[in-house]
Amino acid sequence: MNWLVILAGGRGERFWPLSRAARPKQFLRLLGPRSLLQETADRVAPLIDRAHTVVVTGEAYAALVEEQLPGSWVLAEPVGRNTAASIAWAAAAIRSRDPEALLVVLPSDHAVGDSAGFQEVLSAAMASAQRRQRMTLLGVRPTRPETGFGYIEAETATARAARADGVAVAAFVEKPSRERAEAMVASGRFYWNAGMFILPLSEVWAAFSRWLPDTLAAVSGTSEEFAWRFAALSPVSFDVGIMERATAVDMLPLDVGWDDVGSFEAVARLLMGRDPARVVWDRVHDVTVIGDEGPWIAGIGLSHLVVVRTPDAVLILPPEESQAVRALVHQLQETEEGTRLI
């Protein structure tokens, strides 16, 4: 059986004031009427139904997941220990019901422009992973020399049309320098690692047994022991702990308008051309209002800004300042009054 595993444990400080400690980015309706988490599940719904959807999240967010994805199987981590632990727990949980499962692991906070195209590639990747019994991942064809992502090096360049078959992965590259990123993009053999994995359960189980046996032991133990054993794990990402060590990994290229929605600048880019509600403008150009709740926003003679609207805080910034939001949140934490807003 096919299972969808959504990783939904992120905290999203860069999206304040829309995201709060109690409601991070993946639970927000940033791009439409459905949250990023819901859009992630919706996108895979034609391939895997809700009864086979596992969401790994923090304890604080379990109720939000149940509200947004009713009928899903929620694994609420007592504390965040990075993605290797999350995927191991999902694998152990699914293994207890379906030892022959195929796991589709996706992050919960990204955007995809072309859902049908995504389904087509994912479907091919699932068939390939099942047939070849190899851990497989989707590699996003890069559109710019981004230095903030990890890259996947394919053994051979892939044509744009070649979606049905995977190619072997030669190596993983951590966040590169600008120069190296430009060379990688130019070569045609490198892809962004967007954390989308298709994993035959037996393969990933064997990999955990070999490289992260403590993690597997923690998530497979009795429920009495679980919380403290889980908390005692060192945080390791699935990429570093498993994928970079595995020798037989396939990749399928993805070319479907993927975006990591990493900042308000990205959200503004994705919302471009949409008319926000409850806004009144006079000579306003290139200003994006993000957030449906809160006061009307009125502007006169403005350009090149992002306005983030919530009922109790309104943030104004040029889009290229989006990375500085985290520092602003830290500044708020310095006062009791400000801390209440986080």
Binding positions for a second copy, rule: CB under 8 A:
17, 278, 280, 282-283, 294-302, 305, 307, 309-318, 321, 324-325, 327-328, 331-332, 337-338, 341
Q: In whole angstroms, how far apart are CA 28 and each of 8, 14, 171?
A: 12, 13, 34
Q: How many CA atoms lie within 13 A of 149 on its CB side?
A: 26
Nearer to a second copy, 79 or 313 (CB): 313
Exposed / middle / buried, residue 97 (Cβ in 10 Å: 0-12, 13-18, 19+)? exposed
Compute the distance between CA of residue 37 and CA of residue 27 in angstroms, rounded to an integer: 6
Nearer to a second copy, 162 or 328 (CB): 328
CB of 85 to a second copy, least distance (A): 34
Nearer to a second copy, 47 or 328 (CB): 328
CB of 101 to a second copy, least distance (A): 45
Nearer to a second copy, 210 or 269 (CB): 269
Count CB atoms within 10 A of the CB of residue 160: 9
Where are the extended beta strands (E) located within 15-150?
53-58, 73-77, 102-107, 111-112, 135-140
Nearer to a second copy, 173 or 317 (CB): 317
Which residues have CB under 8 Å from 235's CB, separation 6+?
A: 80, 81, 82, 85
CB of 317 to a second copy, least distance (A): 4
CB of 281 to a second copy, least distance (A): 8
CB of 60 to a second copy, least distance (A): 23
